[in-house]
């Protein structure tokens, strides 16, 4: 094995619409503990081979603080978080990662992974990475093809060509998602693998191939990385330069065009958990083939996925169902129809309903809040502020706020006055008052906020100062 640095580049995009209401656009599946007690992102980080350098994450603006907090919880190592100004698909995202890796090591190998995959056999995954590394050192561009277990119509496929060194195969063809009949033919032939969207290659080779086949994408990404800005824990490529970039997948831009694409078969209990049926497949099932999460009573129930976050779920005499309870939504679906859950999200977005994008519990860099109750001219929130954290110095044009401390200590500033409040104490912030809230203690601050006024939207925030670099139009 070469001592060349292996840089993991973890793609953190995607909204997981088919896993609504657990997954929302502002809190998608990669940040959820769907299979075990750790999130899918943290599982991805934990399964990295031991010879990897610190991970690099490619993330969008909306998820930056959520990602940073989960990385902090899941790893003691430092990491790099590259913020895409806007999603432009995988070819530009990988280009940003490759250019950054080359700044650190001109011989860097890039291991491109998704943040939301399940891989049950870590040892088999590591062995596949070793074979891919050997091929990449010989200037091959390697993709990982999943050994299929059934005739799946939801994945693209890779046709294996002739045998290559290191137990790899030349890529004969990338094919789109097939019909059921064609998928069965692929499975019977033994010549096709599922396209996993994972890759390993020299960063320099990817840049060379991108320059050959899509020089416009490379130029936009180079311009963006030449003017990258450090912002707290994040790297921000130049927005204008990146927005000039085409929207293109790495398959279309490079892998289907290069002469050096090879595939490593991977048989490691892989799933992209793209639906509740896929989640049911990878989770532990009881004797009736039910997956049960949370407070559930299941009688005469079989082959079902039952997940409660908030209330008791009770089922009697049902089969093949998905039942999901969250604080603000309930989903009941036939397990054979779960691919269509995304249509619910489309409907919610068309009607501008917040359930498409956020949970009742919303995370912020300083902590979180839970919208307990809301009416025409009032809203009640339960707010948790992390030790040492501070909300922005701000004011509101349309609402007043009443804060009641439940536990911990609050340092409250209203205009020119600053006071310390503790359990059972409260304060009132009038409309138009400049105010700030800070937790100076060692324990979390828990408080109830009662808002009242003619408009209670989150966009009625005028920020004057913010330690997290947020402006009035950002979350």
Phi/psi at 271 (5° precision): -155, 145
CA gap 409, 403 in Å, rounded: 12
* pLDDT over 70 at 1, yes or no: no
Q: Distances from the Cα of 254 to the Cαs of 87, 167, 209, 217, 308, in angstroms?
A: 18, 22, 6, 11, 43
Instruction: State the number of CA atoms in the 13 A half-sphere of 163 facing the CB.
Output: 3
- Helices 215-226/203-213 angle, 10° precision: 130
pLDDT at 434: 97
The yes-or-no verdict on residue 61 having pLDDT over 90 is no
Q: What is the pLDDT of residue 303?
A: 98
Q: What is the pLDDT of residues 426-455, one digit of tens each?
A: 999 999 999 999 999 999 999 999 999 999
User: What CATH number was assigned to the domain covering residues 6-271?
Assistant: 3.90.550.10
Mean pLDDT, residues 84-103 taken together: 94
- What are the residue boundaries of the structural domains of the chain, listed by start? 6-271, 284-344, 361-465
Q: Is the pLDDT of residue 2 over 50?
A: no
| CA 291/CA 293 separation, integer angstroms | 7
CA-CA distance, 136 to 143, in Å (whole number)? 10
| Cβ contacts of 125 within 8 Å, gap of 6 or more | 47, 119, 266, 268
Q: What pLDDT is stored for residue 179 in this prediction?
A: 94
Contacts of residues 16-19 at CB distance under 8 Å and 24 or more positions apart, as own/partner, are 16/116, 17/341, 17/342, 17/345, 17/346, 18/274, 18/275, 18/276, 18/338, 18/339, 18/341, 18/342, 19/273, 19/275, 19/276, 19/279, 19/341
Q: Note the pLDDT of residue 243.
A: 94
Query: What pLDDT does residue 182 have?
Result: 96
Q: pLDDT grade, residue 72 (50/70/90)?
A: confident
233 within 8 A of 78, measured Cβ to Cβ: no
Task: Please tell me the predicted confidence (pLDDT) of residue 216.
Answer: 96
Confidence check: pLDDT of 75 > 80: no
Q: What is the pLDDT, as a whole number, of residue 361?
A: 86
Residue 471's pLDDT band, with cuts at 50, 70 and 90, is confident
Predicted pLDDT at 311: 95
pLDDT tier for residue 472 given thresholds of 50, 70 and 90 = low
- Which tens digits make up the pLDDT trace of 160-197? 999 999 999 999 999 999 999 999 999 999 999 999 99
- When the pLDDT of each residue in the chain is averaged and rounded to a whole number, the result is 94
Instruction: Return the minimum-mean-pLDDT range out of 36-45, 71-80, 93-102, 194-203.
Output: 71-80
**What does DSSP say about strands 157-164 and 109-114: parallel, antiparallel, or unpaired?**
unpaired
Q: Is the dihedral of CA 157, 162, 164, 170 positive or negative?
A: negative
Over residues 299-328, mean pLDDT: 97
State mean pLDDT over 79-87: 91
Nearest to 24 by CA among 250, 433, 357, 314: 357
Mean local confidence (pLDDT), 403-431: 97
User: For the purposes of burial, counting CB atoms within 10 Å of the CB of 317, is it exposed (0-12), middle (13-18) or buried (19 or more)?
Assistant: exposed
pLDDT per residue as tens digits for the range 219-257? 999 999 999 998 877 999 999 999 999 999 999 999 999
CB 223 within 8 A of CB 241: yes
* Residue 351 CA neighbour count, 13 Å, CB half: 8
Backbone φ and ψ for 253, nearest 5 degrees, come out as -70, -40
- Contact indicator for 12, 348 with CB cutoff of 8 Å: no
> In the CATH scheme, what is the homologous superfamily, with its name and number, of domain 361-465?
Jelly Rolls (2.60.120.10)
347-404 pLDDT per residue, tens:
999 999 989 998 888 888 899 999 999 898 999 999 999 999 999 999 999 999 999 9
Tokens matching residue 120? 């049950």
Per-residue pLDDT, 458? 85
227 secondary structure, DSSP code:
T
In the β-sheet with 410-414, what is the strand arrangement from edge to edge? 417-421, 410-414, 435-438, 393-395, 462-465
């Amino acid at each position: 094995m070469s001592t060349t640095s292996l840089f993991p580049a973890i793609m953190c995009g995607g909204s997981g619409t088919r896993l609504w209401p657990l997954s929302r656009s502002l809190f998608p599946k990669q940040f959820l503990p769907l299979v075990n007690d750790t999130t899918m992102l943290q599982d991805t980080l934990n399964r990295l081979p031991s010879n990897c350098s610190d991970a690099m994450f490619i993330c969008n603006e909306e998820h930056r603080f959520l990602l940073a907090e989960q990385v902090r919880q899941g790893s003691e190592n430092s990491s790099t978080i590259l913020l895409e100004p806007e999603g432009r698909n995988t070819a530009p995202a990988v280009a940003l990662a490759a250019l950054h890796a080359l700044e650190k090591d001109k011989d860097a190998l890039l291991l491109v992974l998704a943040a939301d995959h399940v891989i049950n056999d870590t040892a088999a995954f590591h062995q596949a990475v070793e074979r891919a590394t050997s091929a990449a050192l010989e200037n091959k561009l390697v993709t990982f093809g999943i050994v299929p277990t059934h005739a799946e119509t939801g994945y693209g496929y890779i046709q294996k060509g002739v045998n290559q060194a290191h137990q790899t195969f030349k890529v004969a063809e990338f094919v789109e998602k097939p019909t059921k009949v064609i998928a069965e033919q692929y499975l019977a032939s033994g010549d096709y693998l599922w396209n996993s969207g994972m890759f390993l290659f020299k960063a320099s080779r990817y840049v060379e191939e991108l320059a050959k086949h899509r020089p416009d994408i490379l130029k936009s990404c180079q311009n963006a990385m030449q003017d990258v800005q450090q912002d707290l824990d994040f790297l921000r490529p130049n927005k204008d330069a990146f927005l000039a970039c085409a929207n293109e997948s790495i398959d279309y831009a490079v892998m289907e065009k290069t002469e050096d694409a090879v595939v490593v078969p991977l048989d490691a209990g892989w799933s992209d958990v793209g639906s509740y049926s896929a989640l049911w497949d990878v989770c532990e099932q009881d004797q009736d083939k039910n997956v049960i999460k949370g407070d559930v009573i299941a009688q005469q129930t079989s082959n079902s996925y039952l997940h409660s976050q908030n209330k008791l779920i009770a089922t009697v005499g049902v089969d093949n169902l998905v039942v999901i309870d969250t604080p603000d939504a309930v989903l009941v679906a036939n397990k054979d129809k779960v691919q269509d859950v995304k249509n619910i999200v489309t409907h919610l977005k068309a009607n501008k309903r917040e359930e498409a994008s956020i949970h009742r519990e919303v995370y912020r860099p300083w902590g979180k809040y839970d919208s307990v109750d809301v009416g025409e001219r009032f809203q009640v929130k339960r707010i948790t502020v992390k030790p040492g954290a501070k909300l922005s110095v701000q004011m509101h044009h349309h609402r007043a706020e009443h804060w009641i401390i439940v536990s911990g200590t609050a340092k409250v500033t209203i205009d020119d006055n600053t006071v310390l409040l503790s359990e059972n104490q409260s304060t009132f912030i009038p409309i138009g008052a400049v105010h700030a809230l800070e937790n100076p203690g060692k324990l979390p601050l828990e408080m109830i906020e009662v808002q009242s006024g003619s408009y209670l939207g989150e966009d009625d925030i005028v920020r004057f100062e913010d330690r997290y670099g947020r402006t009035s139009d950002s979350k």
